[in-house]
Each structure stands twice: as C-alpha cells, then as structure tokens.
A = this chain, B = another copy of it.
Amino acid sequence: MRAVVAVDVGGTTLKGAVVDATGAVLALRVVPTRSPETSPGTSSPGAPAASLHALVAGLVADARSAGSEVAGVGVASPGLVDAASGTVEFAANLGWRSYPLVAELGERFGLPARVDHDARAALLAERSARRDPLTGDLPRDMAFVPVGTGVASAVATGGVVLAGGTGAAGELGHVVVVPGGERCACGQRGCVEAYASAASIARRYTARGGPVGATAADVAARLGHDDAADTVWGEAVTCLAQAVAALVAIVDPQLVVVGGGLSQAGPALADPLAAALGTALPWRQPPQLDLSRVGPGAGLVGAALLALDAAGVPAADDFHQRARSGAGALQHAAAPRATTGGRR
C-alpha cells in the first residue's frame, strides 16, 4: 500500500504522520521544532530544517516498518508560503527566508513534495470533510477562519484556493475593527487579533480581574457566571463578527468555518457569532456559519492531502474521517509531550 508523509510545522513542535489514501494513520511522531542542543530563542534556519529532515526520515522508516512505501511528502507551514515554487518566503518563528523546502525534501528523499500555508492546508482538510456524499463535490466557495494564538483566514473561491499575489492572503487577524483600540503586535491598534484570539481573550480577562494564567477555555467555561468573562467574550465575538463580515463583503463565501482552539468552545462561540454576523450584515443574507469538523489536526490532515496530491494518489472519499481521528490521536499524544518538551 502506498502512503504519504504529512508534517504540520509549528513554532514549538513539528507534528508528523504517515497516512495512506484511505486516511488510515500508520504512524505518528511529534518532535520539538528546535533540537534540544539549540537554544529555544535561536533563529538559525538550520535548526527547524534539521528537525524537519530528521522527522521525515523517521516517518519514512515508520512507513517501511508498516509495510508501506512513501510516495510523497506534504508540509503545512506558517509564514509567507509560495506553494507554486515550494518555497517558504518568510517565517519569523522558524528563521526561514526564501527557504526552498520542496526542492530540499526532493533532493534528500527523492520524493515529490508540496508545501502550503497552514491555514490553507487546514482549509483543504475542512473542505474535504464537507465533500458531498452523493455527488463527491467539494464546497466551491468557503472560508476557513482559524482562531487560536492568532486569527487568520483561508478562502476557496470558485473551487480555487486563494493564495494572493505574494502568498500573503489570509491575514484576517490584522483587519482593524476598533480604530484606536488595543495594541497589536503588528504595530497597529484595534486589530481583530488583539480582541478575539485565544491569547487576547485570556489577556483581556486577566486585565479585568480574572485570575492570572486563565485561558480562553476558562473564560468560555465561566460564561453566564462571571461578568468579566461575559464582557471579554462578548467583545471578542463582536470583533470577530466584524472581521468576518468584511471578508464576506469582499469575497462572498457561502460557508464560513471557524476553527482553531477557540472553536472547541462549541455553541458558546457559534451561537453568539452567528447572531453577531447577522447584525453585521444587515444588507445581505449572511453565509452559513459552521465550526471545524476536523479539529486541531486540520493542518496535519491538510498536509496529508497536499502529499497525496504531490504523489498523484487520489484521496478516498472517506479519507478525512479516518485521517481526522488519527490526527486527533496525535493531538492528544502531542499535547503533554509538547509541554514537557518531550522527544522521541
């Protein structure tokens, strides 16, 4: 059976999997993005690249042990990604500038590879999870809005994933929704990310008297019992709705899927967000709003889809179902490892 290697590159960990065309996950690995020998703050491009190469080599070996040959590699990366040339143009956290990731993987492993932006990879996974069971069609016009440490966006329009002229499309987080408002790391004031990211929700809750170290999940858990939580959550939802409304006005998706860590709040996010989106779009029917179906492993599942595409192997119709549960297992396995700096 032919399989592929998928890697989701993060600032802290690299998550990798061996997946076959049916979505069966044959192996999972998670490693620190920088090897322990390298100081965590280093911006040496070599460190994350060396970790990536070691991870891919390990996964190729895992595949062989499982009786499969690897036919391609897919990578989901943060930063500015030029999917056409297979280059990560800029990823601050990784120290990558014009890093020819696809060419390097091709040289080292003799495998076809593809790389794309992590939000766009996750969009591919969420699209695949919404394949029409009767016709096999994928949604043609949809947006994916991951809300976690930051806020981003990815758009498929007319069936084409929108990358932008410089690979920089999808920076929904830096749409200003409160002119003169809270400072954002980007240098502006009032970006949606300064209000609605999980990190901002936690920070703003603590600033209003919530306990130090409280998370966005804690805020969600206290809704209805804690005024500060209600206020901060409500402002986050309103700001997110304003930014999504701008996206809807400009690109008109039929479906907006909210993912990332915040989407795990479920109806506590989806219900007020749908209401706020309706209020923010009085002049048109708002698009359908949905939460992530693939969950936190969407980037990894998307990387597997990129790898299958690179390998010329079509994904099975129910690919996402199996891959999703496999990626979910990784997510659960990865969480404690990542926080304890665990390695294999």
Contact = CB atoms under 8 A, between A and B. Distances in A.
A188 interface: yes
Interface extent on A, as a size class? Answer: 35 or more
Contact of A158 (B140, B162, B166, B177): B162
A253 interface: yes
Contacts of A24: none
B282 A169 contact: no
A212 interface: no
A172 B249 contact: yes
Contact of A176 (B163, B242, B285): B242
Contacts of A170: 250, 252
B187 A165 contact: no
Given A242-B176, A283-B188, A251 B253 contact: no
A281 to B, nearest CB: 8
Interface in A123-155: 140-142, 153, 155
Contacts of A187: 282-283
B157 A141 contact: no
A269 interface: no
Interface string A70-96: 000000000000000000000000000
A186 B254 contact: no
A236 interface: no
Interface in A163-180: 163-172, 174-179
Q: Report copies per complex.
A: 2
Given A165-B141, A165-B287, A179-B177, A155 B254 contact: no
A282 to B, nearest CB: 4
B164 A141 contact: yes
Contact of A163 (B158, B179, B284): B158
Nearest to A252: B164
Contact of A169 (B179, B186, B252, B283): B252
Nearest to A139: B165
Contacts of A153: 250
A280 interface: yes
22 contacts: A140-B165, A155-B250, A157-B169, A158-B163, A162-B162, A162-B251, A164-B251, A165-B287, A166-B252, A166-B285, A170-B252, A171-B283, A172-B249, A174-B249, A174-B283, A175-B249, A176-B242, A176-B280, A188-B283, A246-B246, A247-B250, A250-B250
